[in-house]
Amino acid sequence: MTHLSPRARRLRHCGFSLLEAIVAVAIFAMLSATVLFNYNNFNSRLGLEQQAHEVANWIRTAQAYALGVRGETASGAVFPAYGVHLERDLPDRVIFFADLDSDGEYDDDGTCGAVGTECKEIVKLKNGAQLSKLCGEIPGVTASSPDCGTYDNAEFIDIVFTRPNPDAAIKGDPGSGGGDSDYSEAIATFRSLKGYERSVDVWTTGQISIR
């Protein structure tokens, strides 16, 4: 019979058994999956947050261009109003435009960026974010829609700034055949691929917020 020293006996019992190793690997796998899932969710939320801020920044840019009397020498309107166009049928983009004919609306009149056209830049949304809801409040009118509650369910909304007024003119089409509506507030809601939502809220006072 072989006699082991006390040190050898201790070393003999220091290793992992097969069962212990399997349990340790399973725990590590579960922790890794949880971290990866939370990381992907964090990235989705962060990407959507960035897109909402980018849309809000383009609205502020329209306001700054209008108040800063940015010129359009190739058009009849030397110092036109500027705005942002949002449309349900174009959920992956925002259109920055100059209101060359002063009608308070975006006119799709040719290639974006070409001389004499209202479209100045098409801003493509990133990270799979898309416009999911477009709502407008008509002063004194209570609507009823599945997407917008007591607000109007708009097909498109134009947010336009005209010098020297820092306030916004908000106009949209409810799609009911009754013509365009003037809104006191517009809410554009964007959704990520994972279903998270962020909204850009604009009032005629020129205030812009993200929620």
Residue whose structure tokens are 């909204």: 199
Report how far apart, in Å, the C-alpha atoms of 136 and of each of 4, 43, 91, 172 are. 84, 30, 17, 8
With H, G, I as helix, E, B as strand and everything else as coil, classify residue 94.
strand
Which residues of the chain have a pLDDT value below 70?
1-16, 32-42, 73-77, 175-179
What's the pLDDT score for residue 34?
62
Residue type, 72: E
Q: How far apart are CA 202 and CA 188, in angstroms?
A: 9
Residue type, 195: G
Confidence (pTM): 0.80
What's the pLDDT score for residue 43?
73
Residue 3 per-residue DSSP state: P
Q: Are 80 and 99 in contact (CB under 8 A)?
A: yes
